[in-house]
Amino acid sequence: MIPTFVIFFREGIEASMVIAILLSYLNRIGQRRHFRDVFVGVAFALVIVIGGGVAAFLLISHYDGSNVQTYFETATYLIAAAALTYMTFWMQSHARTMTKDLEHRSDLALSGGTRAGLGLLAFQAVGREGLETMVFTLAIVFASTKQAATPVHGNFLLLGAALGLVVSLAISFAIYRLGAKLNLRRFFQVLGIVLMVFAAGLLADAVENLQQLRWLPLGRQVLWNSSHQVAEGSNLGDVLHSLFGYAQRPTLLQGVVWLAYVTLSTTAFIKMGRRGRRAQPSRGGPGPLAGGGLPVRVEGAD
């Protein structure tokens, strides 16, 4: 439940802010008639992403227990971990220019003389976030159902996703309509580190699958066996597995990959954030995604 909540919360915040930036800019330049084009693009993106996610899950479920399922799960883990890493670092380095970039792309779409331009822009923005969310969710579902494949567990995953989306939309509404304050830079920093811990767990799951397939013969020594204390199939074990990549019988290679990824990625991420703060022209400047006339008050200072 917690991983799906965090994923949908984070992605929901980013996607809703992209759309809010587009709508705010169109309103400011007197182009409210194009709101519908933006909403059409969002709707198409959601339909394609949700349909694709359900189709992928049903397809791989058809091969339950076979090597085909293991191949697909392993690929999903690796893609999700890579996407989590890329999007976290990308947001760290591009958040402050996102508003101007979106406004520039909106101007290009409007100057094209076709109504499809803004819809395509919204489709691309929401589709990208939706595709990332779909991959992350599939990876979390595959990793979790291996430990606790019960309908109740699946319902908790769906509940976490729904709560994350609702909370993200509520926060976005409060920021853009009610003038609430949110330190977005710190928000993305904290969630970025949390998501990289998730990614480390997904990489460890991928290593486990590859070792089971005997594609990785090295580092198969078991570090410990804590199945009697905290089994992965238990409620606590499933939470620890989903959050931190806990394994009741981890191999040496799993431990090395998890520790190396967390150490290197979080160190690089924190250093990038510090360089970004030193590069700011003033400490009290606007926070991420603010600026460009967007009607939002965002705390940018620590």
CA dihedral 282, 288, 292, 297 (to 10 degrees): -90
Domain ranges of the chain: 2-278
Confidence of residue 294 (pLDDT cuts 50, 70, 90): very low
Picking from 4-18, 85-99, 210-224, 271-285, which range would have the lowest pLDDT averaged per residue?
271-285
DSSP per residue, 242-287: HHH---SS-BHHHHHHHHHHHHHHHHHHHHHHHHHHHT-S-TTS--
The residues, ordered by sequence, that sit 6+ positions from 228 with a Cβ below 8 Å of its Cβ are none
Per-residue pLDDT of 192-219, as tens digits, reads 888 888 889 889 999 999 998 889 888 9
Cα–Cα dist 208/258, whole Å: 11
Q: Is 201 helix (H, G, I), strand (E, B) or coil?
A: helix
Q: Which has more confidence, 201 or 297? A: 201
The conformational region for residue 293 under phi > 0 = left, psi -120 to 50 = alpha, else beta, is: left
Residue pLDDT, tens place only, 26-44: 888 888 888 888 899 999 9
- Per-residue pLDDT of 269-288, as tens digits, reads 888 877 766 665 544 443 33
How much is the mean pLDDT over the chain?
A: 78
Closest CA to 3 of 184, 180, 145: 145
292 pLDDT higher than 90: no
Q: pLDDT tier at 113 (50, 70, 90 boundaries)? A: low
